[in-house]
Each structure stands twice: as structure tokens, then as C-alpha cells.
Amino acid sequence: MRSQSIRSNSFRKFLYISPFMVLLAVFSYYPLYGWVYAFFDYTPPIPLSQSPFVGFKWFHSLVENQVKIDQLLQVIKNTFGISGLGILFSWLPMIFAIFLTEIKAVRFRKFIQTVTTLPNFISWVLVYSLAFSMFSSEGMVNGFLHMTGLSDSPVLFLQSSDHVWLTMWFWATWKTLGWSAILYIAAIMGIDESLYEAAYVDGATRMQVIRHVVLPSMMPTYFVLLMLQIASFLNNGLEQYFVFQNAFNKDTMQVLDLYVYNLAMGGGSYSVSVAISMLKSLISVVLLFSVNGLSKLLRGEGIV
Amino acid sequence: MSDNQTGLTPISRDINISKKTIKMQVSATDKIISTIVYILFSLFAFICVYPFYSIIINTISANDLSARGEIIFWPKGIHFQNYVDVFKIPGLGNAFVISLGRTVIGTLLTVGASAFLGFMFAQEDMWGKKFWYRFTIITMFFNAGIIPWYLTMRTLHLTDNFLAYILPSVVAPFFIILVKTFVEATPKELQQAASIDGAGIFTIFYKIILPISKPILATVAIFSAVNQWNSFQDTLLLVTDSKLYSLQFILYNYINQASSLSTMVNLQNAGSTAMATLATKQTSTSIRMTVTIIVVAPILLVYPIFQRFFVKGIIIGAVKG
């Protein structure tokens, strides 16, 4: 009798959250059904039900001739280049946090923290607008170069296809560095007081304290974040690259996400872009499980 | 969590260790390093602030000078005509209403849903709790891709529909984790006492959980409001009806077609008695920058007030029990 009432009560609790679970199913799980488009010859407005089934035709078509192979390779190269740079410099937020907490002047420290987290809260469109105002041919930087006589003709920063990976990495870092450092600051605040005291008593210099006390305590946090970053290696996101892309830099700008968008929305090849999306997701899942396994091996616990 | 959100730094701690303060060794290298650190941080702070500052001074300077990129450190020929003119661009006011609407409605719904779900997932007895929690969290790690998502939204008739801005973000796994962690850290006795007094689950949620979760809900609110205000991709993919354009989308269009807009505004002004001089005549630069400031202003105003909140909130979320 009593156990039954408890059981019905627990089911009622589930009923309360069920509408939200439905929403989640619709917006997060149902789109997976869209993967079937990759196996049909889908051209709007003909509905999917009347499109011919083509099996793996689109997957083959990605590598059917040299031109397509070259294009796909270039896109993969861009993705690897930009994500690779991100991983190469993944220690930056940690160092940023360590030296920020070293600053004695409280006001200065708070000011730096406030100012450097700000860019995280503006959209990529706004970042592009700022970039445009600074670096376009009639922007501040070129105005400055012109006024000081450093250069006669405007430097075309945004239209160049050179160093695109670096500039994209720079903007992404500019936007997120201060914000990413917050997690590390939290970790630094969690360090056991007695470790510091012991180091002071032993007469350690500040650098030695950082090397032997702070850095080792940061490692678990750094490791987890690095693993997550590796798991999303192929997901650069669309917005940043979409707003910065133009006819001049398209070749080196197109990462997988942007390529998929351009194929479908620009070229109308829905089926091919779904095929690429699908491969991308599958590889991402494999990456996630791999880093999770690696984490279990090294730390004894997974990250997911 | 002490009220001072950055906490006591290791350096200031040595003062508190004992009366016989153990002085840390400060070597010459340490001094050099700390000088370099100060310089680097100042430089990075400058890089973060200067773009905003420079655009603000450009919008209130003489337009012919700013178009040539000559306004670099301080404004010249101050006037506010740009702000008056920009609001004459058709569609801008409407986009502002759309952005504001999605931000207010979307934030309310997301905060409400995150609070309720976070609270429910912290319950000890719920049918299939573990499964549904995983069902929710796992969505953070995969997505079908942009095109399947677009096709789904089209199937649901959410293209050119205001609801497309709201519904997909109602259930937000990350925020649910934050709230759940927070609720689980509160004393269990509160809820137990209330339920012994005969309070139902909704009463407990409304009367007890909501009031004590204020700090974490403030964090969720600011995050979700910023997300809504900054959102661009959904408009880009799903909206063709200009009545539903958001400010971000309009700004993107303006950056790419500012010259035709400036011509239009100048033509509108040509009929008025006050003839525009070179200094107040709209250029593509002045239009672009003024709209940028209008789009970024709410963030700049709200941000300093809420900053301490979300730093705390993130730290609460980071220290997962």
C-alpha cells in the first residue's frame, strides 16, 4: 500500500518533467532522423518520400575525382590547422590565470579581469564589426599607418588569404581568453593553504611556488578541458568563419562547418552536406569516447 | 565562497599566516618577471578595450574624418546626429523589438525550465531519474549537424516563426547541471521539513528552492540573455521574413551594404531644413559604427553589474560535487 503510493509519487514526478523531455526529443534527437537525407537524392521542393534512394552514392561522390578530393582536403586542412593552433596554445588560459592571481594590486587585478572577460559576451557579428572598423582599408589601423607615414597604400588585412588560420585563432583567443581563465582561477583558489606555507618556510621564490605548487594543482583541470577540446576538434562552429569569410579568403577560411553550410545554403546540395555532417558527427563521437577512455586510463575517471 | 570573488591571493596570504610574517624571498628575477607580467596584462587589457572605445569616439566625431580613419585617440568635432539618423533606417526599430522580445521571453522560459529541471533531477525518487538525466546531458556532446537541424525546423513549421527563437533553447543541459549542483548542495532538511508539513512538490519548488537559488539563477539568466541577444545563426538559417530579423542579423547586413544605406539616409535628410555638412553627412563608416554601438550598448551596460555574479556562478558550477 505504502510502497505503491511512493511508486506512483515518483512516476508523477516524472510526468512533471515529461513535457521538457518531449521538447528535448524534438530539438535534439529528432534531427538525427535527418541523416537519412544522405542516402537519398533529395532536391527541394520534391519531398523526401518521393526522392530516389541512392545508398552511399553521396559518400562516394566526395572522393570521386581529383577536384573534389582536393577541395575536401583543403577544408580538412583548414579545420586541422585552426583547431590545431587552438590545442597548441591551450595552456594560455592557465598561464593567464596563474599570473593574474599573482598580481598584488587588487584593483588592477579586478580591472584586468573585468576587461578581459568582456569580449566573451559579444557576438561574432560584433567582433567582425570591430575588426572591420580597425582593419578595413579605411579603418583605424590603416588611418594610423597613413598618418604616421608608415605606409602609403592601405594594407588589406581582411581581404588577404595569408595567415587566415592565425588571425582566426587570434580573434578566438581575444574573445575567450579572459573567460576561459576563470575556471583556472577557481582551481587556484581551491589550492590547500598549507602547501603555500610549506613552500614559504622552505624559502621558495615566487617562480618556484608556481612551478612546484600551483602548476601541479592545475593539471587535472587543464587535462579535462584539453580532452574536451580534442573531442570537439572538428567542430569549429559556423558563425566566426561565416562572418569573416569573403571571396578573397574563402579557400583558407572554409572549415568543415562553414563548408557544410556553403554547400547546402549556397549550392543547394543538401544530401552531400548531410553526408559530411554525418561523417563529422561520427568521428566526433569516436574522438569523445577515445579521450574518455584515455582519461579513464590516466586518471581513473572519465570526463563525461 | 568569500565575498571577494577573486579570493585572497597566495601573495597576500603570507600576511595572515602569523604575527611573525614569513617573508617570501623576492629575487631580482621575480621583480623582472612581475614587471613583464604587468606590462603584458596591461597590453592585453588595452587590446580588449580599445576597439570599443575607438568605435564610440568615432560615432560622435565628424563623419568625414572618421571615414578616413583619422579618429584614433580622442573624438574631434563632436555631434550626435548619427544616432538620430540611424534610427531613421527602416527596420531597425523593428529588429530592436524582436531582439528585445526574444531576449526577455527566451530568458524567462530558459531560467524557469532550468530551475525546475535542476530541482527535479536533484530529487531522490523519480521514475527513471538516472536515465532522463543522462538523456538530457548527453545532448551536449552530439548534434545532428546544421542541415538536419534546419530540415527539422522546416518540418515543424518553425521557419519564419518567432517561436524558433525561443523553443529550442528552453531545455539547456549546462544550466540544468548548474542548478542541480546548487540544489544538491543545500541542506536536505529544508525540503524534508516542508514535505512533512504537507507541502507539495510545486510548493517546495516555489517557496523554498526558488528563493535560495537566486545567485545561480541570476547566473543562468545573464548567460541565457546574452546568448539570446547575440544569437545570429538561427536568423541566418530560418528567417526570410524581414519582420523577424534580429539586430545582429541587421548589423551583419549593414556591414555589407552600409554605403547604400548612407545614401538613403542622406536623401531622406536632403529635404529637411538643416542641410547636412560634411561632418554630419552619413558615410558607410558612420552608419556601420553607430549601429554597432546600438547593438553592443545593452551588453556594455549590463555587463559590469552582473560580472561578479557569473564569475561566482561559474565557480559554483566548476566545483562539481
**Residue-by-residue pLDDT tens, chain B, 321 positions:** 333 343 333 444 443 433 334 455 567 777 888 889 999 999 999 999 999 999 999 899 888 888 777 787 888 888 888 888 888 888 888 999 999 999 999 999 999 999 999 999 998 888 999 999 999 998 887 788 888 999 899 889 999 999 999 999 999 998 998 899 889 888 888 888 888 888 888 999 999 999 988 888 988 898 899 899 999 999 999 999 989 999 999 999 888 776 666 677 777 666 554 555 677 778 888 888 899 999 999 888 888 777 777 666 666 555 543
**At A280, which amino acid appears?**
K
- CB contacts of A33 in chain B (<8 Å) are 148, 152
All three cell numbers of A57, joined, read: 552514392
Q: How do residues A28-70 score in pLDDT, each as one tens digit?
A: 999 998 898 889 888 777 777 778 888 888 888 887 888 888 9
> Which are the contacts of B87, defined by CB distance < 8 A and separation ≥ 6?
B93
Averaged pLDDT score across all residues of chain A:
87
B210 CB near a chain A CB, below 8 Å?
no
Taking Cα atoms as reference points, which of A137, A140, A168 lies closest to residue A153? A137
Which candidate in B42, B48, B49, B176 is best for mutational testing of the A interface (most A CBs within 10 A)? B48
Please name the residue that has the C-alpha cell 566526395: A62
DSSP B204: I
CA atoms within 13 A on the CB side of B131: 6
- CB contacts of A21 in chain B (<8 Å) are 132, 135-136
- For residue B276, what pLDDT is reported? 59
φ, ψ of residue A20 to 5 degrees: the values are: -70, -35
Give me the residues of B, 73-102, that contact A with CB < 8 A.
none
Rounded to the nearest 10°, the torsion over CA B125, B127, B133, B139 is -170
Q: Do B146 and A257 touch (CB under 8 A)?
A: yes
Please name the residue that has the C-alpha cell 528552492: B209
- For residue B21, what pLDDT is reported? 42
Separation of alpha carbons A58 and A264, rounded Å:
13
φ, ψ of residue B72 to 5 degrees: the values are: -120, -45
* B25 in Cβ contact with A205 (< 8 Å): yes
A224 CB near a chain B CB, below 8 Å?
no
Q: Do A102 and B135 touch (CB under 8 A)?
A: no
Alpha-helical segments (H) within chain A: 2-24, 57-61, 66-88, 92-102, 106-117, 124-135, 140-147, 164-189, 193-201, 206-209, 215-231, 239-244, 250-253, 256-261, 270-299
| Nearest-neighbour CA in chain A from B268: distance (Å) | 25
- For residue B281, what pLDDT is reported? 79
Give me the residues of A, 121-180, that contact B with CB < 8 A.
121-126, 128-130, 132-134, 138-144, 146-147, 174, 177-178
A278 CB near a chain B CB, below 8 Å?
yes
Burial of residue B50 (number of CB atoms within 10 Å: 0-12, 13-18, 19+): middle
Q: Do B146 and A238 touch (CB under 8 A)?
A: yes
Separation of alpha carbons B212 and B208, rounded Å:
6
Separation of alpha carbons A3 and A283, rounded Å:
46
End-to-end CA distance of chain A: 39
User: pLDDT tier at A240 (50, 70, 90 boundaries)?
Assistant: very high
Taking Cα atoms as reference points, which of A140, A208, A128, A107 lies closest to residue B45? A107
Q: How do residues A2-11 score in pLDDT, each as one tens digit?
A: 566 666 788 9
φ, ψ of residue B184 to 5 degrees: the values are: -65, -20
- For residue B141, what pLDDT is reported? 78
Model confidence at A22: pLDDT above 90: yes
Q: Do B226 and A119 touch (CB under 8 A)?
A: no
Taking Cα atoms as reference points, which of B270, B317, B249, B283 lies closest to residue B71? B283
Q: Averaged over A67-74, what is the pLDDT? A: 90
* B309 in Cβ contact with B215 (< 8 Å): yes
- CB contacts of A270 in chain B (<8 Å) are 147, 151
Element (H, E) at A300: none
Separation of alpha carbons B197 and B192, rounded Å:
9
A119 CB near a chain B CB, below 8 Å?
yes
Taking Cα atoms as reference points, which of B86, B95, B117 lies closest to residue B220? B117
Which of A132, A207, A260 shows the shortest C-beta gap to B30?
A207
Does this model's pTM top 0.95? My answer is: no
A229 forms beta bridges with none
Taking Cα atoms as reference points, which of A134, A130, A169, A168 lies closest to residue A154? A134
Which candidate in A140, A158, A197, A263 is best for mutational testing of the B interface (most B CBs within 10 A)? A140
* B118 in Cβ contact with B179 (< 8 Å): yes
Please name the residue that has the C-alpha cell 577515445: A290
φ, ψ of residue B25 to 5 degrees: the values are: -65, 130
- For residue A304, what pLDDT is reported? 61
Q: How do residues A145-198 score in pLDDT, each as one tens digit?
A: 877 877 777 777 887 777 899 999 999 999 999 988 988 888 888 888 888 888
* A304 in Cβ contact with A291 (< 8 Å): no
